Every structure is written in structure tokens, then in C-alpha cells.
Chain A
Amino acid sequence: MKKPLIYTILIVFVVFSLYPFLWMASSTLRPEGEIGALGLIPSKLTFEHYKEVIHKIPIFRALLNSFIVAGSVTAGVLVFGSMVGYALSRLRFRGRSLIFIIILFTMTLPFQITLIPLYVLMVKFHWVNSYLALIVPYMLTGFSILLFRQYFMALPQDLIDAARIDGCSELWILYRVLWPNSIPALITVGILTFMTSWNEVLWPLIVIRDRAMMTMPQIVAIFHIGGQAEARLGVKLAAAMLLAMPVILAYSFFQKYFIESMATSGLKE
């Protein structure tokens, strides 16, 4: 195919996917009355919508909460997911395949099915309205176990044997020998886990009531549908913009790894 044609097609797609976002970004800076227009350049800039959002909801506290939750969840998934993945890929024990099959099975269950039992558990543990409820249930995922298991299976067994003879314990083998050689897997699992956790709305809505404990997507969702926005589009869009901002910033920092990890999906080399 000729280059101009390829470029034309690509540009059309970029415009299609980018326009709604740009429209949202520009709308947050317009006076409420102008928001219906299709154009992207506001006739008059205003930061009123943002001021109102910040005034009405504890958005920065929610930002901090989101960072704490997504950060802890990601750390937990990397540590525990790789441990289980290592055990399933390299240690020999009775029932190994069965355990792996059960883990795969949990991945097929939609979250809605485990939602209620999990909530009951949180109530029994007295974890409702705390970080624990947001973090602990997410600290180990079937997906991360699967990905680490596959990745570790592709590493040479001799590397593990050499470490064992050198005097490493199993945990030391994992963290000092396998981790440094599994950066792509760690990044893939890290990014996907962080994003999933960051965007989670349903679970926080169920276990968190206290506004000070709410995560960003939760507080923005409540702001949108809970009547506080008074059906005005400007403040709603401004809140949505604030929600999207950290992810966009993070993406621009990590985009190289992100594309790499998506392309290789944890495959070696």
C-alpha cells in the first residue's frame, strides 16, 4: 500500500478516537452555556468548573487513596503472584496441576458472582470502610499467577539449579535471580494490575461509605450520579478530567514499556 493512503487511514482513526477526549478537555474550560458546541476552541477560558469540583468533593484525598490502594495492590500482586507462579512452574509437589487448574477456573468467574460472599467476609472481618477491604482481596490474581508461571517456565532451569548450588533458598532464587531476569513480566503485570485497580468503581462503592476513604473513580461516580453536580455538564466533565489525568500522566511516562509489554505479552525476548 502507498504511504499517503496509510497515513490518511491512520489520521482518520486518530481523529475519531481523540476527538471525544479533546472535546471533553476543552468543554471543562468553557462556560456552562457553551458546552453543547462541537468546536474544540473555547471562546472564553474559565476554571470555574474545576474550582467547584475541588470545593465540593475531597478530590485530592481521593487521589491519595487511589494511589495507596492501587500501589499496594500492585506490590502485593507482584510479590505473591510471582511466588505462586514460581511454585507452579518450578517446584514439584503433589496436586500441582490441580491447583493450577483451580486457579485458572477462578479467572473464568465474573466478579459479580464473588461480590456478595466477599462483601459478607469484609463485614465479618470488620474491614468495611478501610484500606484493607480495598487492598487485600485484590492482592493475588489468577492472571498474574498465569503470566508469571508461563514466563518462569521459559527461563532456563540451569539458572535455578546454579542458584540452588550457590546456596540460595527458594525465595532468594525468586527475588534475586528470577526477578531481575523477568523485567518484562513484572512490568506487564504491574501496569495491568495498577490500571485495573485504579479504574475499579463497583467494589469501592460497596465497601466504602466514608468520603475520606473513597477512591477517585468512586468519588467521581458518586459526584456524577449522586446529585451533587446538579446535572451540570461542566463540573461533571471537570471531575472526569481530574480522574483521567493521573492515568494519562503515568501513561506518558511508561508508554515505552507499556507498548513493549502489550506487544510481547510476557513472552521472552
Chain B
Amino acid sequence: MAHVVLKDVTKIYGKNVIAVNRVNLEVRDREFVVLVGPSGCGKSTILRMIAGLEDITEGEIFIDDRLVNSIQAKDRDIAMVFQNYALYPHMTVFDNMAFGLKLRKIAKNEIQDRVRDAADILGITDLLERKPKQLSGGQRQRVAVGRAIVRKPKVFLFDEPLSNLDAKLRVQMRKEISKLHQKLQATMIYVTHDQVEAMTMGDRIVVLKDGCTQQIDVPMTLYNKPENQFVAGFIGSPPMNIFNGKIVKESGLWFDEGQFKLKVPSRFEKNIESYVNKEIIFGIRPEDIHQSGDKSDNEFLISVNVNVEVVEPMGNEVILYSSVGKHSAVARLDVQCQIKPGEDINLFFNIKKGHFFNAETKMSICLEK
């Protein structure tokens, strides 16, 4: 297995369309790294550059300490799974999986063994004689994964492999790819726009926007300590609530949204003090907004009056969409709540769990180190 290193990798299309901007990344041996971001953020371009399907404008890519910039895709010892499977329509499942091995002149009986083994792992032994068009979406994706496995590559690359599957199958395949990673102990780089996939599958996640890395970290750190407003808004579903306002000083520091004020707890004042009378962004996750005030750390719970717009019962919880001032607020509430749309109610913001961002740089002003 192998590690992959990207040094200042840049991709420029035409004269001045920068798709990927100075990306640095080290994927360790046997690690599962997820590249995530909205469409057009350059995540697929990065993957295609690692695969050798796309030229690198600037920077260097190493696979196992070997500079691969000018090495062809077929000689990089990587395998890739594509979003629309990219199975060869004219070949049977067996031939699809064996094609790469045949081209590498591997002995016939070994090809047989490897394809059978991979088919066993993926549960597609019965399908080996079929053509791709006789398979369902999930089966096709298994074959595509199988085609990668039989090659025993140094690095597996996945380009949004689950996007074409229906919701239920996606959850199932997500689990299976995670299991496969544990079983094969291989280095995997996985591209997705779905932050749930990123959170659930990745050992580490790379969040990208406009070709630049925003943050590289383990899932829970991304969730709990986003370095900027973009990461905070992108990771988590429903996304973090964002309020623009400013800090005012009147017997302590307050975040003033216009419609409501939140008292900044005294022990956070040191970080916030320099922002007095300046624009600032406050963010709070839906689960840190509560319906009642009597929680254990109620010193930080601040009541805010909101107008309820939509109530979505999810079975185990209720997602409540409301408006407050010129902003909207989403809260994740207990399933027992009896709130109706149109009501004016008080919700309690747990400011201890809140995040402050610089209004200009959008960078986090960390409250708790």
C-alpha cells in the first residue's frame, strides 16, 4: 500500500480559470481521505490529477515517494471508481473485471482467481456472465468496485461513486465501502459533495471551496471546531445557523443582531474584546438551540423570540424552521414538542456552543481552545 503527497498542486484551465489552487495534502498509508465540497470546488479535478487523467499545471504529486507528474495513468498503479460506473457495455461482468488484468498480461488462472475472490467479497458471483445493462444501479457499482479490487492497486480513487444510487442503496453501499476499506487496508481517496458521506466514511476530511483547501481534519474536529464560516456551514445537516451582527459593550460584551442580543459569557470576553463595535458573525448549530431553558448549564442559555415557519417531524426529532429578525434559524427539537407554524415562541440558544467568525476574513474567532 502507499501514501500520496500533493505539493502546491495547481490546475489552470485555458489561460486563467483556476480550478485547483495550491493544494497541499498528505494521504497516509491505509488512510481513507474524503475530499468534499460544493460542485465546482475542484475536488474531482484533484482526483483526476492523482489518477493521471488530467495534467498538473503546477506543483507535484508523489505516490509512495515517486514523482508521478509525467507518469501515465496506467503506470501509476491506481484504480478508480467512477460516478456513472463506466463499465464497458459490450463486455460481461467477468470481462469487465478481467480487462485490466488481461492488458497487464497476468496469467489466466490468476485472473480467474482474482475475479472470483473480488466477486465473492462483493456478492456478485452470480452476475459474472451478465452484461452491464442487465444489472441494477447497485450491482453495477459493485462491479465497478470489483474492477478496482482485482487490480490490487496502491491507491483506490472514488469519484462520487454513490451519487447515482437511490437514498437507501447509498446508505448501504456507504457501509460496504467502509467495510471494504477495513478489510483491504488500502489507501483510499474518496470524492463526494455529500457531507454525510464525508463525515461517516472518512478518517480525515478535506473541505474544498473554489479550488482551495478550507480545512483538513478528522470529522469531529471539523464539526466542533470549524476554522471558517464555510466549513461551519458546509459540515452538518441541517447546516449551522449564521447571524450577522456586531459586538457592543454595555456591562459586559453582547452580540447584537438588531432584533435580539446575546450576552457573551465573561470567560470568552478576552477573544471577543477587540471586536467591540465591529461587524461579527455568530454561528450556532441546530442542536444547540433548545425549547426549554432549564438545562444544566443554563448560565449560557439565552432566550430568543422567533416566529415559527415550518415544523418537520422526523420521527426521532423535530426540525423547526423559524425566522428571527432578518435571519432564519433552524432548531433540532425534542419529538414531544407541540409547536405549530405561525406561532411566536422563545427558543434558548446555548451560546457556549456558539461560534464567532470574523466578518471580513470569515475565519473563526475561537472561543475555546
Residues of A whose CB lies within 8 Å of any CB of B are 156, 158-159, 161-168, 172, 177, 180-181
Contacts and interface: CB of A to CB of B under 8 A. Distances in A.
B88 to A, nearest CB: 6
B90 A181 contact: yes
B104 A167 contact: yes
A156 B147 CA distance: 18
B80 A165 contact: yes
Contact of A161 (B86, B88, B104, B151): B86
Contacts of A168: 74, 103
The 3 closest A-B pairs by CB, nearest first: A166-B100, A158-B86, A180-B90
A180 B47 CA distance: 28
Contacts of A172: 103
Given A158-B85, A162-B147, 6 more contacts: A161-B51, A163-B88, A164-B74, A165-B79, A167-B74, A181-B88
Interface of B: 48, 51-53, 72-74, 78-80, 82-90, 99-100, 103-104, 147, 151
A165 B78 contact: yes
| Interface core residue of B52, B53, B72, B79 (most chain A CB under 10 Å) | B53
18 contacts: A156-B84, A158-B83, A158-B84, A158-B86, A159-B86, A162-B86, A162-B88, A162-B147, A164-B74, A165-B51, A165-B53, A165-B100, A167-B74, A167-B100, A167-B104, A172-B103, A181-B88, A181-B90
Nearest to A180: B90
A179 to B, nearest CB: 9
A225 B53 CA distance: 61
A163 B88 CA distance: 9
Nearest to A155: B89
A167 B101 CA distance: 9
Contacts of A166: 74, 99-100, 103, 147, 151
A164 B73 contact: yes
A159 B90 CA distance: 12
A158 B53 CA distance: 10
A46 B216 CA distance: 91
